[in-house]
């Protein structure tokens, strides 16, 4: 019985595929090169032919503050289409389980900290990525609706900020951590004396190594069955400025770090309450220091430009 991982070549999907294979589970990972999930007819046909026992939806159009702020139509429209096509196709093919992966940006900008699952829709969203957040909130609601109307054992997971191998290291559209890794590696290689980072460096964030999320996905696939989405995070936070200093140290960059205050910071603080996932028996295994070391090494070995 096969498990399908949509977005199987990306940061999250590739980690989930690796962990499922290590557990001797039958799994197929697909990317946009295999099936265009924006094409409803082709998505339905593929799912109907494969008839997987479960689908893990790690497919999405993602990006950092810059990309989300500049292209809200694409982030809203494409993510709505991808997740709706997949869920409708899964229902049509009688897929038993579906795991929808969202994002911590679904929560209000001024949410109490740490953020509990029930804080969803209790306040205004951060405007720089509200389009993406609304798409993910819609995915949560569609999962709930399929459970309510058809009794499906479908679930939603909301991971915190993720990083690791196969991340998007694009300087304009990538998230803050991979973008900083690229900036410092390129600065070291070119012997630059300074690096400029976005914003003030003051916002606080938590970061989860993608292998830890993959373990949470598999655990919840097997053991979680509830309409309430579930947070996946470390409950540990760090300022962006301190993060930049850590990355610079691991890369070996000894120059000056400048901060461009004209660029947006996004939400000031965002740390998830992870008690529900801890109660299921999961806990993060890779510390930020270890995860950064692994990711920097992977990037240096993979990106030889």
Task: Dump pLDDT digits (tens) for 9-24.
Answer: 999 999 999 999 999 9
Contact 31, 6 (CB under 8 A): no
Closest to 239 (Cα-Cα) out of 196, 287, 202, 199: 202
pLDDT value for 236: 96
Residues 81-112: pLDDT tens digits? 999 999 999 999 999 999 999 999 999 999 99
* Token pair of 133 as six digits: 């957040």
Name residues whose C-beta falls within 8 Å of residue 223's C-beta, 6 or more positions apart in sequence: 280, 281
Whether residue 265 has pLDDT greater than 90: no
Three-state DSSP at 194 gives: strand
Contact 225, 143 (CB under 8 A): no
DSSP conformational letter for 116: P
CA distance 228 to 241: 34
Closest to 161 (Cα-Cα) out of 269, 16, 301, 277: 269
pLDDT value for 305: 52
pLDDT value for 257: 97
Whether residue 154 has pLDDT greater than 80: yes
pLDDT value for 304: 60
Q: Which class would CATH give 3-167+207-235+270-286?
A: alpha beta
Predicted TM-score (pTM) above 0.75: yes
Query: What is the rounded average pLDDT of the residues 141-158?
Result: 98
- Average model confidence (pLDDT) across the chain: 95
Kindly indicate the confidence band of residue 66, based on its pLDDT and cuts at 50, 70 and 90. confident
Contact 17, 5 (CB under 8 A): yes
Query: What is the rounded average pLDDT of the residues 28-32?
Result: 97
Q: List, by residue number, the catalytic residues.
A: 132
């Amino acid at each position: 019985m096969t498990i399908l991982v949509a977005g199987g070549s990306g940061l999250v999907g590739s980690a989930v595929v690796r962990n499922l294979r290590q557990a001797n589970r039958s799994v197929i990972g697909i990317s946009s090169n295999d099936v265009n999930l924006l094409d409803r007819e082709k998505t339905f046909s593929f799912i109907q032919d494969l008839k997987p026992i479960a689908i893990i939806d790690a497919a999405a159009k993602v990006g950092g503050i810059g990309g989300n702020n500049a292209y809200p139509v694409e982030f809203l429209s494409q993510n709505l289409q991808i997740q709706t096509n997949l869920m409708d196709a899964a229902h049509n093919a009688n897929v038993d389980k579906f795991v929808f992966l969202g994002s911590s940006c679904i929560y209000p900008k001024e949410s109490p900290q740490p953020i509990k699952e029930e804080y969803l829709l209790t306040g205004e969203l951060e405007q720089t990525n509200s389009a993406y957040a609304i798409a993910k909130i819609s995915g949560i609601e569609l999962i709930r609706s399929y459970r309510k109307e058809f009794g499906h054992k479908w679930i939603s997971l909301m991971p915190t900020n993720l990083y690791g191998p196969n991340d998007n290291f694009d300087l304009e559209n990538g998230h803050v951590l991979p973008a900083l890794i690229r900036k410092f590696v390129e600065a070291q290689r070119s012997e630059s004396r300074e690096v400029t980072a976005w914003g003030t460096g003051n916002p606080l964030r938590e970061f989860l190594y993608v292998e830890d999320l993959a373990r949470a996905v598999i655990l919840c696939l097997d053991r979680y069955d509830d309409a309430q989405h579930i947070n996946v995070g470390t409950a540990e936070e760090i300022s962006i400025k301190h993060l930049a200093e850590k990355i610079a140290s691991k890369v070996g960059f000894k120059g000056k770090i400048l901060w461009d205050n004209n660029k947006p910071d996004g939400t000031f603080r965002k740390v998830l309450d992870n008690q529900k996932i801890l109660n299921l028996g999961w806990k993060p295994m890779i510390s930020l220091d270890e995860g950064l070391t692994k990711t920097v090494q992977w990037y240096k070995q993979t990106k030889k430009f």
